[in-house]
Amino acid sequence: MGLEPLFQAWSYFRRRKFRECSDLCSQLLERPPGEQAAWSLKTRALTEMVYVDEIDMDQEGIAEMMLDENAIAQVARPGTSLKLPGTSQGGGPSPAVRPVTQSGRPITGFVRPSTQSGRPSTMEQAIKTPRTALTARPITSASGTYVRLGTALFEYIFHHENDVKNALDLAALATEHVQFKDWWWKVQIGKCYYRLGLYREAEKQFKSALKQQDMVDTILYLAKVYLRLDQPVTALNLFKQGLDRFPGEVTLICGIARIYEEMNNISLAAEYYKDVLKQDNTHVEAIACIGSNHFYSDQPEIALRFYRRLLQMGVYNCQLFNNLGLCCFYAQQYDMTLSSFERALFLAENEEETADVWYNLGHVAVGIGDLNLAYQCFKLTLVNNNDYAEAYNNLAVLEMRKGHIEQVGDLQRSYTAAQKSEEAFPGHVDTQQLIKQLKQHFAML
């Protein structure tokens, strides 16, 4: 005897077979009368297919980057803004040896959804981008409140249809209906305001919700608002107050660590990541970031331990083998270096990842003195990613070593570029030596 159809649909949902669940609900709704339970379950199944944890996911598209007027001060004090993180006050590695993203923050051991991946490439995409990523965080209250049809309908409109305006209207009516006493609806209104770029209004809603019900999720949403308003210090204070009420909450400690890392205070960030590991010793982001910090602090053999730990945990991707290859090379374990890079090339999912591996192989080739191999590797980097500035730079150095100098003598442009470089990173010794050499040239002219 087969299962009762609605129970079967619910079973599919529990086993995360959302497509089958949705199809079965559709069949149930075709029969008269279309029952409310099937409607509710279908909207939930469709939502879960594209559900993304709003707390972690924050796509800052071209529109937001170009037209951002949310910073409070035009010239912020050092250590109070994410736009000008300053040069490693925390005693961490300098920006000269640690690469940064296009937005200027250091590349950590862990690519976060909001920093590098998935940026919409055009204004149109930035305006209407349905979110289609899955969350790595445990299902919290945010995805657990589906008791009534109204909540399931809201999540469907917000996530599946990406129609923020209608979702906001529904949430406003619902919160009025419950006489402004339900914290959950206030959080949803705050989410809509945030998505629409109305950050101050979102802040009011989240604060009001927190007064009614102390929730970790709401604290994380409110911190996101402060970060978008470029108020990292306020976000840090909020997280620290949250930790008084929820001691040892991993997401709050991790939030603090991320902010310190964005402000380039690497040593403090590492301390907080270590606190994360005390609470959850399988936290991938913390392990990767601590490993990365050790690598850039000239301790590749310690970094190797952290990356090996990730491997033991079952993380198996291109980036991890790329990092393992570099750590093995700098820790002088040459037998493992090439096999790690080979594995990384095999696991690379797109051309950008392949380009990164060839670039690192080029470095290894320079390190062992095989300049022909290095030349080939940097060329292969450019084949996979034509915008790879570092590869062009290194190819130019190799050409110079071979004596293929075509443009020499434009000292003025060189001096201007060196001055800009010094402004960007005042403590860079090579730049200072170059300026000194140029000044000697000018004195001889």
Q: Is residue 206 part of a domain?
A: yes
pLDDT above 90 for 206: yes
224 shares its domain with 150? yes
Q: Is residue 126 part of a domain?
A: yes
Tens digits of per-residue pLDDT, 38-90? 888 888 888 888 877 777 656 566 556 666 666 556 667 777 777 765 554 55
Which CATH number do you get for residue 92? 1.25.40.10
Q: Span 426-439, mean pLDDT? A: 79
120 shares its domain with 224? yes
Q: What is the pLDDT of residue 138?
A: 41
Q: Is residue 362 part of a domain?
A: no
31 shares its domain with 76? no
152 shares its domain with 46? no
pLDDT above 60 for 250: yes
Q: What is the pLDDT of residue 265?
A: 86
Q: What is the pLDDT of residue 294?
A: 92
Tens digits of per-residue pLDDT, 363-382? 999 988 888 999 999 999 99
Tens digits of per-residue pLDDT, 217-226? 999 999 999 9
72 shares its domain with 198? yes
Q: CA-to-CA distance for 182 and 34, rounded, in angstroms?
A: 29
Rounded mean pLDDT of the chain?
81
264 shares its domain with 156? yes
Domain extent at residue 421: 408-445
pLDDT above 70 for 428: yes
Tens digits of per-residue pLDDT, 121-135? 444 444 444 443 333
pLDDT-based confidence at residue 137 (cuts at 50, 70, 90): very low
**Residue 225 vs residues 92, 197, 232, 240: alpha-carbon distances, Å:** 27, 10, 10, 16
35 shares its domain with 65? no
Q: Span 134-161, mean pLDDT? A: 61
Which among 50, 69, 88 is the end of a domain?
Answer: 50
pLDDT-based confidence at residue 29 (cuts at 50, 70, 90): confident
Tens digits of per-residue pLDDT, 267-282? 899 999 999 999 999 9
175 shares its domain with 219? yes
Q: Span 238-264, mean pLDDT? A: 93
pTM: 0.76
For the chain, the domain total comes to: 3
Q: Span 245-251, mean pLDDT? A: 93
34 shares its domain with 71? no
Highest mean pLDDT among 35-49, 102-116, 236-250, 408-422: 236-250
